[in-house]
Structure 1
Amino acid sequence: MSEAWQLHGAPRFGGILVVSDHASNRVPADIDLGIDPALLEQHMAIDIGVGAIGRTMAQRPGIAAFQCGVSRLVCDVNREPHAPAVIPIASDGHAIPGNALDHAGHEARLERFHMPYHDALAQVLDDAPPALILSLHSFTPRLATGDEARPWQVGVLYNEDDRAARIAIPLLAAEALIVGDQQPYSGKLLNYTMNRHAEADGRPYLGIEIRQDQIGHAAGQAEWAERLARLCNEVALKLGE
């Protein structure tokens, strides 16, 4: 464990590893983002619901959850190290003055959070290679900049490797869910962590985005934790056939 990441449960060879880049809204005490603290409860700071789902899933044998320990506003570990949004100076129309760093400050932030997160994740995957990685995120029911509702209850995302996605989509649809294939956005656009740790090494992974009104409460989180545990085990079994 470190301030950059947390591991829940015991990773197991051939098990399931749930990876959540945006599970926390924590801002270390020595970092002042210069924003209204209320914004830390919004999507710009955290993927609502995914931390609790991962921790609940990790209570099951064979499932562990690897989660980032700080808000995406401190350091977005699902971005390339030198992408502008890795330490965002604005998000959802809100300026983040505490992230207006010089080069040395930018590099220090990356060395403190981004590098340890990815180094630790690589080590976990090497020490106990899972049968499947679940990349777990959540999305807003509508964009902050528009009124159009997003109809999908869950989205399945991927880049080049769609092995797990092709199995999971019909399984989710069979549960009477509205399932987005590469919705609400494409995994070919935002997939850094899985590109680095799964696709680069041929590890099977399933990218899941859950609409936040489904999991903004304990009952929904419990329901989705149970559903995803079942889904991941079934996908892993079919991948192994």
Structure 2
Amino acid sequence: MNEAYTEVDGGDLDILIIGDHASARVPVDVELGIDPALLNDHIAIDIGVAEVSTLLARQLGCTAILGGVSRLVIDLNREDDAPGLLPVMSDGHAIPGNRHADLAARMIRFHHPYHHRIGRLLDDMGSPFILSVHSFTPRLASDPDQQRPWDIGILYNEDDRAARIAIPQLEDAGLKVGDQQPYSGKLLNATMNRHAEDNGIPYLGVEMRQDLVGDPEGQARFARILGPIVLECRNQLA
């Protein structure tokens, strides 16, 4: 295992599953200065992403690459010059250990190896398709009145081809689907902009509601639903 990522080798199908925020791991030499209980919270990890991504990789026979450290250590879904790379606040919680952290060192240690590995995996695929997997909290502590009723959100920037295929199929499967909800892929799409949109590689970006994928039953349900839809998107676009 590389400390920057975990790789799940499920087979040779030209689909790459990417989970930027799949881990809550904080290396022993990184001091965030927070209550350790927060590492179980959405500010530290996209709950359910590692499990659903692993199930999908094995179900589809493809590879998954999962970020190896918490988003509080470095946010892997941010451009190299983005201000949110080292968060000092997250949903009302201060992250004091990041105030004077060495950004360049963390980039070299975590961010660069993760994205270089994604690039190499895609280069080895003849006709790649990407599935980007995230999860969202149904309620923000800093904005409790914000309504987030969706079961799953679909995010994209300029390339909405897979979104248009997937959304009606997800609705047919009984899910309440947010199109560019609860976030906009126009704003929060760094990994897909870099590896998919900038290279003309088709992709589907999903945000699962974390309370629906917080246990094995929910994780298996979402993997069952997403698997055939991802294959359909790949078969039509890749």
**Counterpart of 2:5?**
5
Q: Which amino acid in 2 is paired with 1:9? A: D
Give the deviation of 1:62 after TM superposition: 2.7
8 A contact 2:91–2:140 mirrored in 1: no
Taking the aligned partners of 1:130 and 1:10, their CA distance within structure 2 comes to 17
Structure 1, unpaired ranges of 5+: none
Q: Which amino acid in 1 is paired with 2:80? A: P
- Give 1:124's match in structure 2, choosing from 121, 125, 133: 121
Taking the aligned partners of 1:23 and 1:182, their CA distance within structure 2 comes to 21
DSSP 3-state at the match of 1:57: helix
State how many pairs are aligned.
Answer: 237
8 A contact 1:158–1:188 mirrored in 2: yes
Q: Any runs of at least 4 consecutive aligned residues in structure 1 with deviations exceeding 4 A, and if so which?
A: none
1:133 and 2:130 equivalent?
yes
Q: How does 1:132-211 map to 2 (within 5 A)?
A: 132-144=129-141, 145-211=143-209
* Per-residue CA distance 1:23-82 (angstroms, 9 max, x = gap): 000000111110000000000000000011111112235321111000000000101122
Q: Tell me the TM-score normalised to structure 2 length.
A: 0.95
Taking the aligned partners of 1:11 and 1:74, their CA distance within structure 2 comes to 30
Taking the aligned partners of 1:68 and 1:111, their CA distance within structure 2 comes to 14
* Per-residue CA distance 1:164-221 (angstroms, 9 max, x = gap): 1110011111112111110111100000000000000000000000111110111000
Taking the aligned partners of 2:106 and 2:174, their CA distance within structure 1 comes to 43
**Counterpart of 1:98?**
97
Q: Tell me the TM-score normalised to structure 1 length.
A: 0.94
Taking the aligned partners of 1:76 and 1:129, their CA distance within structure 2 comes to 29
**More off after superposition, 200-209 vs 83-92:** 83-92
* Per-residue CA distance 1:76-129 (angstroms, 9 max, x = gap): 010112212101111111111111126xx1111111111111111101110124
8 A contact 1:165–1:206 mirrored in 2: yes
Aligned-residue identity in percent: 56
Provide closer, same or farther for how the CA distance between residues 166 and 95 of structure 1 changes in structure 2, counting only shifts above 3 A: same
Give the deviation of 1:149 after TM superposition: 3.1
Taking the aligned partners of 1:179 and 1:55, their CA distance within structure 2 comes to 23
RMSD: 1.4
Structure 2, unpaired ranges of 5+: none
Provide closer, same or farther for how the CA distance between residues 61 and 235 of structure 1 changes in structure 2, counting only shifts above 3 A: closer
**Counterpart of 1:68?**
67
8 A contact 1:11–1:124 mirrored in 2: no
Taking the aligned partners of 1:139 and 1:10, their CA distance within structure 2 comes to 26
Taking the aligned partners of 1:227 and 1:61, their CA distance within structure 2 comes to 12
Q: Which amino acid in 2 is paired with 1:185? A: Y
Taking the aligned partners of 1:61 and 1:152, their CA distance within structure 2 comes to 25
Taking the aligned partners of 1:40 and 1:112, their CA distance within structure 2 comes to 20
